[in-house]
Amino acid sequence: MDLLDNYKKAWTNQPEETSKLSAIEIYKLAHSKSSSIVKWIFIIGILEFVILNSLYFFVDMETVMEEYRKIGLENFIYYSNILAYIIIFYFLVKFYVNYQRISIVDSTNTLMNKILKTRKTVKNYVIFNLAYVAILMMVATTAKINANYTDLNTTQIFMVVGATLLATLLFLGVLWLFYQLLYGFLLKKLKRNYKELAKLNSTN
């Protein structure tokens, strides 16, 4: 008899849990709040959409538009904003569809794949937003330099470009760290298990 067979016998004969739950206790548990990572990914994802889009409320758009008008970017801002909103809407729909597709009845592999896909939509959305802001900043800086070209000397131009770059990099760095912490905390275990399954499927 195989060594494991003995242990398997012990497993099969193991007594049932001493503290078995009654139907009432099960009812209470079933109606309590879930703390699953899927729920958290959904909440955080929605928060990201809301927070990033509500930032505009804190900025006095009139003054900003006046600034853009001065450097001749009015049309560019107008059309790029329309495009940005179409893309944001696309991400929102994709995020919701991906979230809806998550089903715990799927196989472990498929389930983890779908969870990671939903998370990736939010990630792409954030990357898009950052890229959009970065492009806007670059265009605005270039336009500003162009508009004031005669008044600025070379050192001043370099300082403006340098300061813009530094501020952008610092902002991105802090944000990246925050994301590493937030999603690292949430998805560390899932990613480890997903890798383990992927390894299984590729090496054998």
Name residues contacting other proteins, limited to 31-50 (CB under 8 A).
Answer: 31-38, 40
- Counting residues that bind other proteins (by CB under 8 A) gives 55
Neighbours of 121 (CB within 10 A): 21
Q: How far is the CB of 192 from other proteins (least distance, A)?
A: 8
Of 20 and 151, the one with the shorter C-beta distance to other proteins is: 20
Each residue 99-128 as x (binds other proteins by CB under 8 A) or -, in order, gives ----xxxxxxxxxx--x-------------
Q: How far is the CB of 174 from other proteins (least distance, A)?
A: 25
Neighbours of 142 (CB within 10 A): 13
57 belongs to the binding site for other proteins (CB under 8 A): no
12 belongs to the binding site for other proteins (CB under 8 A): yes
**In this chain, which stretch among 29-37, 91-99, 164-172, 176-184 interacts with other proteins, using CB under 8 A?**
29-37
The separation between CA 23 and the C-alpha centre of its own chain, rounded to angstroms, equals 40
Neighbours of 102 (CB within 10 A): 19
59 belongs to the binding site for other proteins (CB under 8 A): no
**Where do contacts with other proteins occur on this chain (CB under 8 A)?**
3-4, 6-23, 26-27, 29-38, 40, 103-112, 115, 186, 188-190, 192-193, 196-197, 200-201, 204
